[in-house]
């Protein structure tokens, strides 16, 4: 087995052009806004414009990484998503093209609900272990959509995270021990003929916590670190309160008290970006990790982070990593905050119009309105081919 440290060398995010304050949904669904702000721990959600999709957000996130790193070492691009745009062609191939990566590169798309970015990360670690001179670009990008006026509506969102995986990583070295768990259930799924997910909300929350317990036990049995040796936790966040519930549960089954701040202190930083973006499915846990790095408030060098990745359906994994010494100098805090603050606010009526805007599913040509200020835009479809523009 390789003794070289391998992990995440750089991490960046992107989100949509628009944002909706959840007070707008509360008002229109006749709910108390505290149910969203406090009950599920969400204040806003990102809403993509008509000319944004998983490809434009993924390319936008990855562009920030390529501005700093040599492209020629990237021989693999792994694209994780559950918002697929084609049944055959990987969305990653469009991203590869927009980023002008070397043609000597393998590109593939991975799917398993919100879990697949973790599969991509684990596969990337394996590729780099075989040849430490290679780097892998992992991109997770999703748009979470539920039907209007359902209880899931407030848990939508949109975002992408790009990560460069390489040997001697600058941000975090991923440890080899993992705990995995798979169970064939229907807590959340999206048949090919639907543009919104179907979900059994309460069951999905139970299933998430059951999967946490099983993957945690599997992690421990395989030699993972005990809970008191893990300094921070980062969970998949369909909404931030779910991460708090998960942390409470993990501490309880480990015999730790949940009185006081200890439970929250270990994950509070990881909730901040997600609270404003909403669920970004595959990107969500990694968005939480970036949020932790940006917002924890203490020096995390040498800290062990425990990660819990959950994808409905379901597949889950618990793993850990050690934050590297100079991570702080590599963060883009100011840019990240301005990215969130510069989203354009929608009224409920504007959001509803965008939510119901459907690209032709009949195979007709169409052109999208020019809205996004991102470096890339989805221009429409011609002869069944998706067209993208670089600005």
Residues serving a catalytic function are: 82, 114, 236
x/- letters, 52..91, toward ligand HMG (CB under 6 A): ------------------------------x---------
**Which residues lie closer than 8 Å to 66 by C-beta, 6 or more apart?**
99
**Nearest residue relative to ligand HMG (C-beta):** 39
**Among 179, 311, 321, 380, interactor with ligand HMG by CB under 6 A:** 311
252 is a contact residue toward ligand HMG (CB under 6 A): no
Using alpha carbons, select from 96, 78, 188 the residue that is nearest to residue 144: 188
CA dihedral 357, 363, 364, 370 (to 10 degrees): 40
How distant, in Å, are the alpha carbons of 22, 233, 338, 353 from that of 350?
14, 37, 23, 5
Nearest distance, CB of residue 241 and ligand HMG, angstroms:
6
The smaller minimum CB distance to ligand HMG, of residues 253 and 337, is found at: 253
**Among 85, 148, 185, 205, interactor with ligand HMG by CB under 6 A:** 205
CB 95 within 8 Å of CB 62: yes
How far, in Å, CA of 159 to CA of 19, rounded?
A: 12
x/- letters, 149..168, toward ligand HMG (CB under 6 A): --xx-xx-------------
How distant, in Å, are the alpha carbons of 169, 219, 236 from that of 231?
19, 16, 17
Residue 43, phi then psi, degrees to nearest 5: -110, -35
Under rule CB under 6 A, how many of the chain's residues touch ligand HMG? 30
How far, in Å, CA of 121 to CA of 178, rounded?
A: 12
Nearest distance, CB of residue 35 and ligand HMG, angstroms:
3
**Among 42, 76, 204, 240, interactor with ligand HMG by CB under 6 A:** 204
How far, in Å, CA of 240 to CA of 52, rounded?
A: 25
199 is a contact residue toward ligand HMG (CB under 6 A): yes
Query: Tokens representing 256?
Result: 């730790």
238 is a contact residue toward ligand HMG (CB under 6 A): yes
Q: Helices 91-98 & 54-66, crossing angle to 10 degrees?
A: 40
21 is a contact residue toward ligand HMG (CB under 6 A): no
32 is a contact residue toward ligand HMG (CB under 6 A): yes
141 is a contact residue toward ligand HMG (CB under 6 A): no
188 is a contact residue toward ligand HMG (CB under 6 A): yes
38 is a contact residue toward ligand HMG (CB under 6 A): yes
CB 95 within 8 Å of CB 79: yes
271 is a contact residue toward ligand HMG (CB under 6 A): no
In the complex, the residues that contact ligand HMG under the rule CB under 6 A are 32, 34-35, 38-40, 82, 113-114, 151-152, 154-155, 187-188, 199, 201-202, 204-205, 208, 236, 238-239, 242, 279, 281, 310-312
């Amino acid at each position: 087995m390789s003794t070289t440290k391998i992990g995440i060398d750089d991490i960046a995010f992107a989100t949509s052009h628009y944002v909706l304050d959840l007070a707008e949904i509360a008002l229109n669904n006749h709910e108390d806004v505290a149910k969203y702000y406090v009950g599920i721990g969400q204040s806003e959600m990102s809403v993509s414009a008509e000319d944004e999709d998983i490809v434009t957000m993924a390319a936008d996130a990855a562009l920030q990484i390529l501005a700093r790193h040599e492209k020629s070492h990237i021989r693999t691009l792994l694209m994780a998503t559950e918002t697929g745009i084609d049944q055959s062609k990987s969305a990653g191939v469009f991203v590869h093209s927009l980023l002008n990566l070397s043609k000597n590169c393998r590109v593939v798309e991975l799917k398993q609900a919100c879990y697949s970015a973790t599969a991509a990360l684990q596969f990337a670690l394996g590729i780099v272990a075989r040849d430490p001179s290679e780097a892998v670009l992992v991109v997770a990008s999703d748009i979470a959509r539920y039907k209007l006026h359902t209880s899931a509506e407030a848990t939508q969102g949109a975002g992408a995270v790009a990560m460069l995986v390489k040997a001697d990583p600058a941000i975090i070295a991923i440890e080899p021990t993992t705990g995995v768990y798979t169970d064939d259930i229907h807590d959340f799924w999206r048949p090919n003929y639907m543009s919104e997910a179907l979900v059994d909300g309460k069951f999905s929350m139970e299933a998430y916590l059951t999967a946490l317990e099983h993957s945690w036990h599997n992690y421990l049995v395989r030699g993972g670190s005990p809970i008191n040796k893990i300094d921070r936790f980062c969970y998949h966040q369909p909404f931030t309160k779910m991460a708090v519930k998960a942390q409470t549960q993990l501490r309880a089954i480990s015999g730790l008290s949940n009185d006081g701040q200890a439970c929250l202190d270990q994950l509070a930083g990881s909730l901040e970006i997600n609270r404003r973006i909403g669920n970004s499915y595959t990107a969500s846990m990694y968005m939480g990790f970036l949020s932790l790095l940006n917002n924890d408030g203490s020096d995390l060098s040498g800290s062990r982070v425990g990660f819990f990745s959950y994808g409905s359906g379901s597949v889950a994994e618990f793993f850990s990593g050690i934050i590297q010494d100079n991570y702080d100098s590599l963060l883009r805090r100011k840019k990240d905050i301005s990215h969130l603050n510069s989203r354009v606010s929608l009224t409920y009526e504007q959001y509803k119009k965008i939510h119901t805007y459907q690209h032709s599913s009949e195979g007709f040509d169409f052109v999208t309105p020019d809205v996004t200020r991102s470096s890339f835009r989805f221009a429409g479809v011609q002869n069944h081919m998706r067209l993208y523009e670089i600005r």
